[in-house]
Amino acid sequence: MQPSRYHLALRSLHWVCAVLLIIGLVMGTFVLDKTPNSSPEKINALRGHMIFGVLILVLTVIRLIVRLRSTHPKPVFTGIALADRFAPLMHWGLYTLIFVIAVSGIGIAALTGLPEIVFAGDGILPTDFKDLPPRAVHGVVAKLLMLAIALHVIAALFHQFVRKDRLLSRMGFGK
């Protein structure tokens, strides 16, 4: 018999990752992009952003392993054929975007020596990151991830308040 809710570990990881992703995207968009590399605050912002990024990657790998090894509820259908076909693609797309943004962030760090600069205080930041190919990928994927998260939230709210199928209870903690 299939459960009516996701495994507790999946529910916990979902919400922890959601919060970390939002913080990481806000930091990248409104702090890092707006702070010049010559500013001393940039190092601290990069440190936090990098820690969040690695943490999100590790938690997402754990989440994916738990997802693949645990039983989960049957899909909930909206009756809208396109939406019903798109939903699984969106969920796997979110995982894919998280992995791509993490790998591109690691690429930026590797090409610029960021770990030594940010965590060991050894060296100075490059004048600009914008010419690095992984930086371009990181920026585009950040925007795609924001869009995917927004669509995910809208779909969940549609299920909860329009369809009234209690979809959110599958990922919630209450009874």
pLDDT of residue 2: 87
Closest CA to 90 of 152, 6, 19: 152
Segment 13-44, tens digit of pLDDT: 999 999 999 999 999 999 999 999 999 899 99
- By percentage, how much of the chain surpasses pLDDT 90? 89
Predicted pLDDT of residue 1:
77
pLDDT tens digits for 70-96? Answer: 999 998 888 899 999 999 999 999 999
User: With 80 as the cut, is the pLDDT of residue 138 above it?
Assistant: yes
Q: What is the pLDDT of residue 44?
A: 94
Full set of structural domains in the chain with CATH:
8-170 (1.20.950)
pLDDT of residue 78: 86
Give mean pLDDT, residues 133-160. 96
Burial 7-36 (b: 16+ CB within 10 A, else e): eeebeebbeebeebbeebbebbeebbeebe
For residues 123-134, give the mean pLDDT.
Answer: 92
* Residue carrying the six token digits 């969106």: 90
